[in-house]
Amino acid sequence: MTYCSASDQFSYFSSVEFNSLGYHSLGAIAIPFHILGAYCIIFKTPQTMRSVKWPMLSYHILTTLVDVMFGFMVCPYVIAPFSIMLPSGVLQVLGVYGGVQVYVGIMSVEIMAVSMVQIVENRYMILRSGNLRWQKIRIPWFCLNYSFASLATLPMYLEIPKDQGSAKSDIFVRKFHRAYIIQIGCPFTFMVIPFSMILFEYFSMSFNQTVNNIALLMIASYGLSSTIMMLLVHSPYRKFLKEQLSELFGIQKMARNQTVNVIIPSVGSMKSRINLV
């Protein structure tokens, strides 16, 4: 039997108001970063990364979708471990059926997870220059995965990449893989920790709504943290961001902004001045 401690008190941090405010705040902070991230992927991705450009953009768009769903559209207020979800977002205000909101929210997370795997699969196909055995099963494999999320998104991911990447090197591949692991792995802690907290509540048969709210807000911050890590770990985006921040705050190197005029007197003028003396 699930129980609450006798000393537990229902505070503001356990309320729907705090939950909604946290979602809206995270969403408002995340949207500008998502726009900046999409701009960098579309316009600042170098030729050496062109083969992974569109899978990265797809993953970024779906990550943004998850943030929009959590931050504005659904704003789930989860009561664990009872598996009860009370939506408090825009869709609830519009009168959308709660079951539809749950389905859309879960579907967006599932699609994002599959697109995360697709980036790794895309790199595998390029590095192996088209594995014939995998080519035979990759389409059914993607069909199986995306059918669990949404059948409508299948056409985006079934195309086999034709570009095999002519300008790739071992150093670049290692750097990209390392950057991608950091981009995905570090924000993934925002998923592991809150799910661990909820599972602990479930198996210990205890209840703390404040913990539930904080756990859901951590999950909702995954998209923001993933976009920030993408901008920091990939050198083309990091370089562009550094240049823009330098121009914004007027931080420029002395050599770029100032010219120093040095006047060196000629030998003839020095001699004439000596004769006059």
pLDDT reported for residue 7: 58
Count of alpha carbons within 13 angstroms of residue 7, beta-carbon side: 0
pLDDT reported for residue 256: 47
User: Which tens digits make up the pLDDT trace of 237-262?
Assistant: 889 989 888 888 876 544 444 444 54
**Which residue positions in the chain have pLDDT lower than 50?**
1-2, 152-169, 253-260, 262-264, 267, 270-277
Give the Cα separation of 251 and 12 in Å (integer). Answer: 43
Long-range contact pairs involving 41-47 (C-beta distance under 8 Å, separation at least 24): 41/237, 44/236, 44/237, 44/240, 45/236, 46/236, 47/167
pLDDT reported for residue 170: 53
pLDDT reported for residue 25: 93
pLDDT reported for residue 224: 87
Complete domains list, the chain, with CATH: 12-276 (1.20.1070)
pLDDT reported for residue 161: 44
pLDDT reported for residue 276: 42
Q: Tokens for 258?
A: 């100032």
pLDDT reported for residue 38: 94
Give the torsion through C-alpha atoms of 232, 235, 241, 246, to 10 deg. 110
Residue closest to 81 by CA, chosen among 190, 204, 189, 194: 204
